[in-house]
Amino acid sequence: MPAAPRSLKLYQSKRDFAKTAEPSGKRRVAPAKLLRYVIQKHAATRLHYDFRLELDGVFKSWAVTRGPSLDPHDKRLAVEVEDHPLDYGDFEGTIPKGQYGGGTVQLWDRGYWAPEGSAEDMLRKGDLKFVVEGKRLHGSFVLVRIRNDKFGTGRKNWLLIKHHDQYAKEGDHDALLADDKSVASGRSMAQIAAGKGRKPTPFMLAKRAPFAADAVWHSNKGDSPTPRKAAPAKRVAKTKRVVKKRAAKTRTTKAKAR
């Protein structure tokens, strides 16, 4: 079993793995030619959407309070949280109330992403531009870090903004968020909370389905793995071309604008 990345220390310090079956970051995930992302709809104390981008062996993560928007005029608050392990990206189920992050979790979107430049440099500068190709989200976005913490919370707040492109929808009024259906199981939040319906198909752990339909992270009971074929090579190649093409097109458009 591989060692967990050092950047997961904060994540691990917030959890007691003798009580929770949440991933510790030591499970080996399926290799991929592209960087992956997942968005988990999370009905915790307040409903929010956990936006996770794969980078350097972990998920860089933000809690988007009102969910992503397709309207470039909307600037959605995205609170930076601790890095999460990559196998976390397959979880859909319930974290019991009273435990860290307690609430129902739905796999709302997932796919592939590509930074428009050096991701490390853009993160350091607080201006991460990227393109995504997922089940629900497509095209170019940016995460912009807010410099001032006027409330003294110590949090790193960012804004998630949709760029103007063919996938932008002005005046969308969050129509996309109205579809309460998991991209991994087709279940609603209520069905997930009740442990009903199909268990989620894997994405990060492509050869096994680690979580059952009634997955609850509060015990040491494991779910039986189910074999599953890896994604077809043609599909991966096609997605790679789409992501690269959109990133190149965006850079060309911005260069002409200058």
Distance (Å, rounded) from C-alpha 173 to C-alpha 162?
Answer: 14
Q: Exactly one of 125, 196, 238, 245 is catalytic; name it.
A: 196
Please indicate whether residue 249 is annotated as part of the active site.
Answer: no
Distance (Å, rounded) from C-alpha 158 to C-alpha 77?
Answer: 6
Strand-strand pairing, 138-145 and 127-134: antiparallel
Distance (Å, rounded) from C-alpha 9 to C-alpha 12?
Answer: 5
- Exposure letters 231-248 (e unless 16+ CB within 10 A, then b): eeeeeeeebbebbeebbe
Nearest to 205 by CA among 54, 113, 86, 110: 86
| Sequence-distant (≥ 6) Cβ neighbours of residue 128 within 8 angstroms | 115, 119, 122, 142, 143, 144
**Residue 17: count of CB within 10 angstroms of its CB:** 12
Query: Which three-class secondary structure state does DSSP give residue 257?
Result: helix
Do the Cβ atoms of 66 and 76 come closer than 8 Å? yes
Strand-strand pairing, 35-43 and 47-55: antiparallel
Residues serving a catalytic function are 196
